[in-house]
């Protein structure tokens, strides 16, 4: 769906609506910092009260103990939080909270979403920003996801796998997803199984089946569930099936035993 602020040229803009400095079809090659600055200037002019709040408000803890930014008007608030994130003056934990707030609507500003990820040095912030690429199409977004899948930081790889699984063009990353099946981080391996399962088919039985004997219980379980869907016939004749039917985890034993 076209973001509301991009329709300003076609209808009278609502209060606080933002008009991009460049046309939609030029966003992919636009100067994203200039685009962000122009939109932030509009936001300050349209809603000075929100601008003042966005500049000064602290991150607050959630019930889980993590930090998040209090809710602001969606459109102006997101742009102003993005500007604050780029300024880089906040503590690391606050910057993660800012990135989480920005990522929810990042797809409405594709060039800014890509630029934020590409230039962020802090792995925790970069992981949070990656979430915003779920609905950003194009080679730039896929290129960033491919790079993130081999990032040195496990948090970045994990989020890249989540995004790749949900991205409509995630199948284009198939080879990179298969490579992550051998990730040293067990959470990343489990997420890689999920992503391959989303975009793969029965031809992926061989690389996936190697994880049926993984040391991590969750990896074994996700692999079994994925192969039950993608390649049940091949799984039914696998020499690994007897061990799965005797697995210490009851979920795995039950699923393997039910396979006929």
List pLDDT tens digits, range 84-95.
999 999 999 999
Are 227 and 258 in a shared domain? Answer: yes
Cα 224 to Cα 38, 92, 179, distances in angstroms: 50, 39, 18
Q: Which residue range forms the structural domain that includes residue 94?
A: 1-130
Last residue of a domain, one of 90, 112, 130: 130
Are 107 and 2 in a shared domain? Answer: yes
Are 41 and 100 in a shared domain? Answer: yes
Are 214 and 172 in a shared domain? Answer: no
Are 215 and 190 in a shared domain? Answer: no
In sequence order, what are the residues at sequence separation of 6 or more whose Cβ sits closer than 8 angstroms to the Cβ of residue 56?
A: none
Long-range contacts of 209-215 (CB under 8 A, 24+ apart): 209/234, 209/235, 209/238, 209/240, 210/181, 211/181, 212/238, 212/240, 212/243, 212/244, 213/240, 213/243, 214/186, 214/189, 215/186
Are 122 and 43 in a shared domain? Answer: yes
Are 9 and 125 in a shared domain? Answer: yes
Q: For the chain, how many structural domains are there in total?
A: 3
Last residue of a domain, one of 79, 110, 130: 130
In the three-class reduction of DSSP (H, G, I as helix; E, B as strand; rest coil), residue 23 is classed as coil
Q: What share of the chain has pLDDT > 70, as a percent?
A: 88
Q: How many whole angstroms separate alpha carbon 43 and alpha carbon 77?
A: 8
pLDDT band at 17, cuts 50/70/90? low
List pLDDT tens digits, range 158-198.
999 999 999 999 999 999 999 999 999 999 999 999 999 99
Instruction: Report the half-sphere exposure of 235 (CA within 13 A, side-chain side).
Output: 26
Are 97 and 160 in a shared domain? Answer: no
Are 177 and 257 in a shared domain? Answer: no
Are 196 and 213 in a shared domain? Answer: no
Q: How many whole angstroms separate alpha carbon 234 and alpha carbon 236?
A: 5
pTM for this predicted structure: 0.86
Q: How many whole angstroms separate alpha carbon 87 and alpha carbon 237?
A: 58
Are 102 and 175 in a shared domain? Answer: no
List pLDDT tens digits, range 107-163.
999 999 999 999 999 999 999 999 999 999 999 999 999 999 999 999 999 999 999
Mean pLDDT of 210-223: 98
Last residue of a domain, one of 108, 130, 152: 130
Of 51, 32, 15, residue with least CA distance to 136: 32
CB 79: neighbour CB atoms within 10 A? Answer: 30
Are 44 and 118 in a shared domain? Answer: yes
């Amino acid at each position: 769906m076209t973001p509301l602020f991009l329709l300003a040229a076609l209808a009278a803009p609502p209060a606080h609506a933002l008009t991009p400095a460049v046309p939609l079809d030029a966003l992919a090659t636009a100067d994203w910092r200039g685009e962000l600055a122009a939109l932030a200037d509009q936001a300050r002019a349209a809603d000075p009260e929100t601008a003042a709040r966005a500049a000064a408000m602290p991150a607050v803890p959630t019930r889980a103990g993590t930090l998040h930014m209090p809710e602001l008007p969606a459109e102006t608030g997101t742009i102003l939080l993005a500007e604050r994130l780029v300024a880089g003056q906040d503590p690391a934990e606050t910057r993660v909270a800012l990135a989480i707030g920005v990522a929810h609507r990042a797809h409405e500003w594709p060039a800014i979403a890509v630029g934020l990820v590409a230039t962020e040095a802090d792995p925790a912030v970069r992981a949070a920003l990656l979430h915003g690429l779920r609905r950003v199409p194009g080679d730039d977004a896929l290129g960033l996801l491919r790079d993130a899948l081999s990032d040195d930081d496990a948090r970045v790889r994990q989020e890249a796998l989540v995004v790749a699984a949900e991205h409509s063009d995630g199948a284009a990353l198939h080879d990179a997803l298969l490579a992550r099946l051998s990730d040293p981080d067990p959470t990343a391996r489990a997420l890689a199984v999920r992503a391959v399962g989303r975009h793969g088919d029965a031809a992926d039985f061989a690389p996936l089946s190697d994880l049926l004997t993984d040391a991590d219980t969750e990896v074994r379980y996700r692999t079994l569930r994925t192969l039950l869907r993608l390649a049940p016939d091949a799984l039914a004749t696998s020499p690994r099936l007897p061990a799965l039917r005797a697995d210490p985890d009851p979920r795995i034993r039950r699923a393997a035993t039910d396979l006929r």
